Structure formats: structure tokens, C-alpha cells
Amino acid sequence: MKKKYKIEGLDCPHCAEKCEKHLAKHEKISSCEINFQTSVLSVEFVGEDLTINEMQDIIKEVEDDEVVIKDIKDNKKDKKRVVFTKENIFIFVKIVISLVLGLIGLFVFKDGSDLHHWMRFSFFLLAYLICIYDLFIEVIETIAHRENPLDEDLLMIIAASGAFTLAAIFSDDYLDGLLVLILFHIGEIIESITSNKSKDAVINAVDLRAEYANVIKNEDVEKIEVSDVHVGDKVLIKLGEKIPCDGTIISGNGYVDTSSLNGELMPVLVNEGDYVNSGCVLTSGSLTVLVDKEFEDSTSSKLLSLITESESKKSKADLFISKFAKIYTPVVVGLAVVFILVASLITGQWSTFIYRGLEFLVASCPCALVISIPLAYFASIGKASRNGIVIKGSAYIDSLATSKVLVSDKTGTLTTGKFEIKEIKSDVLSNDELLQIIAGVESMSNHPIAKAIVSNVKNYKKASSFNEIVGEGLIGTIDNKKYFVGSSKLMKRFNVSYNEIDDSGLVIYAASEDKYLGYIVLNDLVKESSLELVRGLKAKNIKTVLLTGDKKNKAEEISKQLEIDEYHYELTPEDKMKLLEAIIEKNDNHVIYLGDGNNDIPCLKLADVGISMGGIGSDSAVNASDVIIMDDDPLKVMKAIKISKSGRNTAIFNIVFSLLVKLAVIVLAMFGLIPMWIAVIADTGLTVLLSLNSLRLLIQRKKK
């Protein structure tokens, strides 16, 4: 069983990967994963669990920065990260001391005498050592633990040491190399702040957890941690407060802002007896809620868990960058060596081209790519969450952005699932008696049709036994008598003599063991936004296909009404699977399946992206789907595609722009047109710029 912890103090994905690999080597750990974007450590132990302190000690073997591991189960909202951490303050002090020593060497010992030459050398050497010693230690520790030492730290050591050596031998000008180290450390601070701020922005966007709960105990109200609230507690929600746990309103009324869950801008009126989800904000009135779910099972906790775990399913761009970063640095070092050797042998100017080769290395650091690409995808997931859409991994952003076909179920997906009884017909029972039998059998099912029928009937007797034949209907026993309720296929299966009805509505037949009883006809209303969804998909050149168990005339009617490109009718779940498989094969896996998350689970799992309607409350939807629409609005599918395209395009832009800028800086460095410290600024500046570009996805405002 995996355990999750909060891990803080890692400032870059490379550090996270290094710590992850080292932890995974421990004999008591079978698997380990660090999600850098969400600062979550997932560990699966072998035998006895390691303590938090033991894991921190293991990480200290390869990571000099202070890494703190916390138990994630306390469920408390994290405070904002401190901008200047201990590590950042330490780096800042190093910068100041090194700069002062460098300035003394530069301006005090400058007359060219031997004494001043050696004093100048000594001050700059000390400044260099103060700036570079921790980088040396990290590289040595990496080598000692048999990890790949070729990273940005090693590049900087080579560049700075080379610059210092060249200055000592040829020019006595040590400032350029020292500036490289100082700017590198300044870049570390800036990248740390940017990275932490970015992660805070995304997590805060999706963290709907209340900070406290007002629990009523013995007629007194006590403010406690939300994690200490339990099933059966009564919680008072005041004006402007977040609902801390899921539950039923037992007194009070008011308007609730549900936009954090479903993206709807209009508040919803709730009254006594209504069910409310945690994470929503009370905008008027006051409520007393009876809690029926523990905090870790509540809507806000489940949503946050889905979002923070989403990065485990990485996009193609993420995977590309991970592989790219592993081979990039060795290749860069090799190219720099080749450049130095070839250019120096041709020109004979060894010092000049060694210096330019070192600039080559500095300009090549991959930080901008490694940090900004995952952030683009994670920011997209955060933005989708703000709009009531849960995307369970950055891999699905790629799939949504490149989709070619949307295959959809009908009932509860493109239609409301709120059926109206259009007609009742029986030659042997009264209309009320027929409805009582049908509702009694249907009451045992969770299908939207069954729920709709039951909601229209009162005082029915529930079936004492129940069996469902998927795609055909139900068999139930009421008062020791067996009844068959369902489609014409069910009647034919049990050789019931009946009159088949040709109607565009949904026909439900009923029979007992010895005779045919009659039928009812239901009408299902189309959702207002379904047509807008289909038209929006067509504008994006995405084909629409309807798969339904309805008869041909009903499927044809709905398809014409919604302008759907292709439809298939009278399908069992197995038929749907076969058709979906054929569509997926024909379109090279670029297929979305849209369903209600219950009877469509096989198709949701089969499609490239399975999107379920109906929200976080349905466990089947959460488990089977790749994307969850928190409300039942089909138009949110278009929103998910739009956000995904924007996130993917941002990631691609970051990759292309970063490589072009680095190529330009490398070329300028090779021709000696820029000093080494400019290459450092270009690398750090690019990292910050592209991280902000990724974060821009999150701060775009929703259009009302």
C-alpha cells in the first residue's frame, strides 16, 4: 500500500528526480515517486515503514538543501511558502561575501605588482571557493551514490573553474568567472521563488478545503480543524464561509456559490433537506449541516487528491523532456569539447576557444525546459478545475487537444435523464397498478431511466429480489410473484406475447410470469447545451457519433435535432464496445467517449479519453473516467478541449522558444560576441520567463 507525504525544499525537477531515485534504492522501499509540481511524495514500503526522519536522512545523502517531509494525512491547508527560505538566505549570504571579496581584489589590489597580483589571486580564489564548494560537494555525493553527475551543477563547475584557470594563466581578469557563479546563484534564488510561487498558485486554485469548521456541541459552537470533523457531527456554516464537509441541511437556507466545483457563476438556492458539497461558499443566509462523509472522503478532498495526483500520468511533452534532459547534458559537454578541440587546433588560439566552449556549456543549461513544460500542463489542469472539469493527468491534455472523434451515450449525457411519462397502457390493470409494479422493480436499479420512473411514482412496494439483464431490462419479485420490466428484447427472451409499440419515446414493457401487463412510454428531454456542443465540435473538425440502446426512430430523431454526424441504435453494452473499438482503430486512438459514468464504464475505460458526466460524487465515474464534468453540462467538453489545446500549445511554444534562444546564445558565444555572464542571465531569465508563460494559463479570467 502506498503512503503519501508532503515534501518541501525541492527547487527543481532534477533535485526531485535525484531524491526519488535514491530513496527507491533503499531496501525497505519497493517504489517511490516524487511529484515536483504538487510536492507530494508517494512511497510503497517493504515490511516495516520507514519513519519521516529516516527518509529525510536518506535524502540528505544526495541533497544539500534542507528537505522537509510531513504527514499528508493531517489534511491541514498548507501555509504559503516563505519566499526567503533558509537555503535562499544562505545562498544570498554567499553571494554578498563573494562579491565583497571580488570587489576588494578588483579595486584594492590593482597596481600590477607581484604582491598585488598574488593578493588579487587569493581574494578571487576565496570568493570562487565560497561560491562553488557546495556545487562540488553535490557532484561528489552524486558520483558516490552512482548517479549521473552530468547536470547544471557540473556544467557550472566546469565553466567557472575553466574561466578562473584561464584568468590565472593569461589575463589576471577573474571578474567574469566570478560573475558567472554569482549570477548562477542569484538564478537559483529566482528560480526557487518562481517555482514555489507557481506551485502555490496552482494548488491554491484547486484547493477548496475549508480552514476550519464550526461544530455544534451541546448547543455551543466550537471552531475546530476540519480533519477533526466526523460523520454525524452538526456543522454551522456562516455567511461567507466554505462548507467544510459534505452533508444534508437540517436547518436554515441561503444561496451557495458552487463555481469552485462546477464553474457555474450563478449561486444556487438551498433549503432544509438539500444536500451540499464541501468546497462551496455560502453567499447568503446560514446553514446547519449534518455531516455524512469523513473529511478525507468529502468532495473537496477527493477533488484535490485527483488534481495533485494527476501529474503521475505524464503527457508526451513531459516524457520527452524527461528523456531529453537525461541525454542533453552529456551531448552538450561532448559538443563543447569537440568545438574547443577543432577550433583551437585550426586557429591555435587555445585560451580563446576554451573560454568560448565554457560559454557554450553555460548557455546550454536545460532548466527552462525542465521547469516550464510540466508547469504548463499542471496549470492547465488547475484552470480546468476552476471551470468544474477534473482532468486526471497531463497525458489526457494531449489526448483532448488532438482528438478527432467524440462518441457519446445519450441518456443522462446529451439528454437530461429526467424522463416524463408520456403514455400508460394496460388491458389487465389500472394505470396506477401498472406503475406500482414497474416502479417496484425499477427501484432496485441505479440506471437513470429507473430513477426517473421511480421519481414519478409514490407508495410502491420494492422488489424483494432483483436481477438485471444488461441492455434488456430487470426481473424482480414482489409479493412472491416474478415480474419482467424492460425492452422488447426482454419480452422476447422470456417468450412473452406482447404488442410492440412504434413510438419515438422510450417504451418500457411489463409482464408477470403468466401474462403480459402493458407498457409505459417515456420522453427524455435534450439538454439545452448539447446542440451547442456538437456545433462547437464541428467547428473544430471533430466528428460526433451517437451510440444508444434506443430504437432507430428515436436515435434518428435525436441525431437530427442535435446535428450529430453518425448514429447507431438498439445497442447492448457489448455492441457499444465493439463499435467503439472499430472507431478507435479507424481514428488511431484519437477518440473521446462521453458517458454518464455508470452503465458506460467499459467504454469510458476503452476510449483514449473517457469523460463522465455527473460530478465527483459518483465513485464509478471517478474510477472509470479520465476527465470528469462536475455538473451535467455537455458544453464543458468544449471547454476542456479548449483549455487542453491552450496548455499543449504553451508547452510546445516553451520547447521551441527555449531551444531557439539557447541556440542563438550558443552561436553568439561560439563567435565570442557575448561574455559568459550574459549566457547565465539568458539561462535564468529564460527559465523565469517561460515559467511565467506557463502560469499565464492559470490567471486568464473566465468569460461570463
Residue 529: the pLDDT is 92
Model confidence over 217-238: pLDDT tens digits?
887 899 998 888 999 999 999 9
Q: What gap in Å lies between CA 1 and CA 296, rounded to an integer?
A: 17
Confidence of residue 363 (pLDDT cuts 50, 70, 90): confident
Mean pLDDT over the full length of the chain: 84
Rounded mean pLDDT of 191-215? 71
- Identify whether the C-beta of residue 312 lies closer than 8 Å to the C-beta of residue 35: yes
pLDDT exceeds cutoff 50 at 418? yes
- Is 420-523 CATH 1.10.3720.10? no
Where are the chain's structural domains? 2-56+67-73, 213-243+246-292, 420-523
Q: What gap in Å lies between CA 358 and CA 339, rounded to an integer?
A: 10
Model confidence over 97-132: pLDDT tens digits?
999 998 998 888 877 788 888 898 999 999 999 988
pLDDT exceeds cutoff 70 at 270? yes
Q: Assign domain 213-243+246-292 one CATH number from 3.65.10.10, 3.40.30.10, 2.70.150.10, 3.30.360.10.
A: 2.70.150.10
Residue 617: the pLDDT is 47
Closest CA to 573 of 605, 544, 543: 605
Confidence of residue 704 (pLDDT cuts 50, 70, 90): very low
- Better pLDDT: 81 or 664: 664
Residue 504: the pLDDT is 66
Confidence of residue 702 (pLDDT cuts 50, 70, 90): very low
DSSP letters, 28-60, are TEEEEEEETTTTEEEEEESSSPPPHHHHHHHHH
Closest CA to 370 of 7, 16, 9: 16
- Better pLDDT: 226 or 362: 226
Residue 428: the pLDDT is 92
Model confidence over 131-189: pLDDT tens digits?
888 888 878 877 777 666 666 777 788 888 888 888 888 777 788 788 888 888 887 77
Q: What gap in Å lies between CA 362 and CA 665, rounded to an integer?
A: 10
> Mean pLDDT lowest for which of 434-448, 504-518, 585-599, 689-703?
689-703
Confidence of residue 19 (pLDDT cuts 50, 70, 90): confident
pLDDT exceeds cutoff 80 at 455? yes
Rounded mean pLDDT of 525-551? 92
pLDDT exceeds cutoff 60 at 211? yes
Rounded mean pLDDT of 577-602? 87
Tally helices (H) and strands (E) across the chain. Answer: 22, 24
Q: What gap in Å lies between CA 682 and CA 359, rounded to an integer?
A: 11
Residue listed under C-alpha cell 571580488: 102
Residue 206: the pLDDT is 60
Query: From the centroid of its chain, how far is CA 339?
Result: 42
Contacts of 474 (CB under 8 A, 6+ apart): 441, 442, 444, 445, 450, 466, 467, 468, 484, 485, 486
Model confidence over 478-521: pLDDT tens digits?
999 999 999 998 999 999 999 888 776 789 999 999 899 999 99
Confidence of residue 84 (pLDDT cuts 50, 70, 90): low
Closest CA to 142 of 19, 266, 270, 44: 19
Q: What percent of the chain has pLDDT over 70?
A: 87
This prediction's pTM: 0.72
Closest CA to 617 of 277, 331, 192, 265: 277
DSSP letters, 457-476, are --SPPPPSEEEEETTTEEEE
Rounded mean pLDDT of 241-246? 91
Please provide residue 247's backbone torsions phi and psi, each rounded to the nearest 5 degrees.
Answer: 175, -175
Percentage helix, strand, coil for the chain under 3-state DSSP, each rounded to 5: 50, 20, 30
Q: What gap in Å lies between CA 72 and CA 470, rounded to an integer?
A: 42
Question: CA dihedral in degrees (164, 165, 171, 173; nearest 10)?
Answer: 10
Q: What gap in Å lies between CA 298 and CA 296, rounded to an integer?
A: 6
- Is 2-56+67-73 CATH 3.30.70.100? yes
Model confidence over 620-678: pLDDT tens digits?
666 778 898 888 889 999 999 999 999 999 989 998 998 898 889 888 888 888 888 88
Q: What gap in Å lies between CA 183 and CA 199, rounded to an integer?
A: 24
Rounded mean pLDDT of 190-219? 73
Q: Same topology for domains 213-243+246-292 and 420-523, yes or no? A: no
Q: What are the catalytic residues?
A: 409
Q: What gap in Å lies between CA 628 and CA 262, rounded to an integer?
A: 10
